[in-house]
Amino acid sequence: MLGRTAWGVTWMFRYLARAEHTARLLEAGLRMALTRGDGAARDEWRSVLVTLGQLAGYEARHSEVAGPLVTDFILRGQDNPASVKAMIEHARTNARMVRTALTREVWEGVNETWMALGEALARPVRPSTLPDTLLLIRRQAMLVRGAMETTLLRNEIFNFARIGAHLEAADSTARILDVKYHVLLPSPAWVGSQLDNAQWEMVLRSVAGERVFRWLNAGRLDARGIAQFLILDGRFPNSLAYSYAKLASNMTALVREHGTESPSHAMAMDAANRLRNLSIGAIFDAGLHEFLTDFIAENVRIAQAIATDYRFTE
């Protein structure tokens, strides 16, 4: 496979996954902001910007943190290269580049997503229509993913698509967890409080895990249990353990096709094995922030190694 095709497929699905995760984070932030006072609501919107790594860009253009300004900047900011609108445009550009490698259903799903969101984000999103817009982003991303899962051959194209989605899911979950511990809570004194529990619920909603976590834990919310669920529970599709187990599986499939084990395959296997053998106690003993910081950095290194091994070119 040409490196250009591998690059295009991987990043098409990274951008789509990033748009979906961004929509979920905005939805959780909106829910929290609506239930709290003005000052606390500003803190919630600021935390969303921090989680997405967009605070500096936002502050360069706005002097205050306000819900409508934040959502407009993240969804369709004209000077924001990391906006959802920009992500979808990049996904569609990549899809056009690799059009002959995609099934009709996948291409039509991406193109439909681009048209639907282009129309929805052509003008500022009103607060009254924001929930529907966020739902549209999520549904369109899931539509493309469903087309990929049900129509693509289980070949290199499929594996690179899954690799992109799993790298992005792992990065998103790790960043949300890290910000929770270092940005969302006003001070350590709040740990265990009603505010703390509400923030943890926001984290779960941001990764589409609130309902399933409650099913597994009889409705209880506690920091240690949630961290274990999002890091080590191999049953949850957005957990670090699940993402890396599947990443390693798709990397192994590429090794079978190419007949040669790449350095990036060994890196992915090592990371998946470490997660499988970790305990939440060991993570907390060493420091959750330190663990997540190291994980995010390693996720970047593995993505870069994949790009090198498979000669990604734009």
pLDDT in tens, 217-271: 887 878 788 899 999 999 999 999 999 999 999 999 999 988 889 999 999 999 9
187, pLDDT greater than 90: no
- Which CA distances in Å does 120 have to 87, 125, 135, 142? 14, 8, 11, 17
Q: With the C-alpha atoms ordered 47, 49, 54, 57, is the resulting torsion angle positive or negative?
A: negative
Q: Quick check: 69 and 95 in contact, CB under 8 A?
A: no
Percentage of residues of the chain with pLDDT beyond 90: 73
Closest CA to 59 of 46, 72, 68: 46
54-111 pLDDT, tens digit each: 999 999 999 999 999 999 999 999 889 999 999 999 999 999 999 999 999 999 999 9
Q: Is the pLDDT of residue 175 over 80?
A: yes
pLDDT of residue 235: 96
Is the pTM higher than 0.75? yes
Dist. CA 183–CA 55, nearest whole Å:
12
| CB atoms near residue 257 (< 10 Å) | 12
